[in-house]
Amino acid sequence: MSLVLIMTTAFALLIFFHFFAAARGLKKSREIKATHVPWGISVIKPVKGIDADAYQNFKSFCEQKLAVPYQLIFSLQDADDPALPLLNKLKAEFPRLDIQITVNPVKNSLTAKSSNLFYGLKLAKYDCLILSDADMYAGPDFIARIASQLYNKQKIGVVSALPVHVKPQGFWAWIYQLQLNATILAQWLPYASIFRLGVAGGTIAIKREVLERIGGVEAFGGYVAEDVRIGQLVKEAGYQVAVGPVIYSPVGAKTLGDLASLLARGSIIYRRMLHTALEVPYLVVAYCYLLLTILGIFAANTTFFTAAAIHLTSKIITAALITRTAGTSGKEAFLVPILDVIFIYLYFHTLQKGVLTWRGIAYKVDEQGRMLPVN
């Protein structure tokens, strides 16, 4: 039984190490300066529906401090989208900005978001491209910082902004925020430069020539996680992936269904888009306290419960420290056991069904992580 305690303590220390790695990554992202800003920047924002603080999110990209011309392209798929009146209001409020709105049906073989990117890119005037989700809120110097980082080194192919999720409203939104911040800050950030984990896809900067070299939107637009695929393709093409400045994403109100979709998507990414050599250790290290608890119940042995408590405590403390360092309250860390139980259930359920519902559309996911809409 002492071996169980030793192994669990080792796992706990490994988990706690992620706090230092995340804190270091956050510090570096916050210190990024705007230096070599390229002449002309095209920002493409795929839009579907109204996210939390939608107008303020859109407006933040109109209030950028830039000495070079830039354009904003909002790409939608439905002429009745409730976000359209907000975008028209935005154009009226900023008449001197180059703001364009395009509406097109979803292109075959692409997901809804990637289809929006595909049509938005057709309007892009400049070679520096920023692909940014609609739910992102940018500081006034954000575009200058991420664009200049892309041109700092010749071999950087893509720069991924570091999204921090904030302002949850309601119980399920707190867990939703915890999952996103834990996944990006504690899992992706420490290992992004070591393994083929792709990018944190909320907002990325990429050169037009790099996008064309990897095959354009069609090369990644059919995957369940286009951000993972973009990073993989960029590295395969011989370029580096860099972590960019921090950007914020208001979570707002979420339902259990929203959380289930998010966790189901994560389950498929682990199994079908990452290597088994990454997936298995992650599951063992991250969730062993659940197995130890079950063993303690059946074996009626307190050693298992002690080991489980050590492991769970390390997860909660680490999550609290990371999220507080990122700028949230950290109290969502106490919801770790609820998040973990739901995730493990959905992990096995989703992989068995192979079906994912995302943004109201049901997809069948193949073994490579590509998605096909289910009628």
Three-state SS at 155: coil
> Other CB atoms closer than 10 Å to residue 154's CB: what's the count?
8
Tokens of 153: 């080194």
SS3 333: helix
Q: Can you tell me whether residue 197 is helix, strand or coil?
A: coil
Task: Kindly report the pTM of this predicted structure.
Answer: 0.90
pLDDT at 359: 65
Residues of the chain under the 50 pLDDT cut = none
272 and 369 Cβ atoms separated by less than 8 Å: yes
Q: How open is the CA angle 348-352-358, to the nearest 5 degrees?
A: 85
What is the DSSP code string of 287-318? HHHHHHHHHHHHHT-HHHHHHHHHHHHHHHHH
Query: Whole-angstrom Cα distance, residue 205 to residue 192?
Result: 16
**DSSP label of 217:** G
Q: What are the sequence ranges of the domains in the chain?
A: 34-253
Summarised one tens digit per residue, pLDDT across range 5-62 is 888 889 889 888 889 989 999 999 999 999 889 999 999 999 999 999 999 999 999 9
Phi, psi of 87 (to 5 degrees): -70, -35
- The Cα 370–Cα 109 span in angstroms is 9
User: How distant, in Å, are the alpha carbons of 146, 184, 322 from that of 21?
Assistant: 21, 12, 9
pLDDT at residue 276 in the model: 61
Confidence at residue 273, expressed as pLDDT on a 0 to 100 scale: 62
Total Cβ atoms within 10 A of residue 253: 12
Superfamily of structural domain 34-253? Spore Coat Polysaccharide Biosynthesis Protein SpsA; Chain A (3.90.550.10)
In Å, what is the CA distance from 77 to each residue of 50, 275, 331, 349, 372? 13, 34, 38, 31, 17
Q: Write the pLDDT tens digit of every residue in 238-249.
A: 998 999 999 999
What's the confidence (pLDDT) of residue 90?
A: 95
What span, in angstroms and rounded, lies between the C-alpha atoms of 356 and 178?
21
Q: What is the pLDDT of residue 265?
A: 82
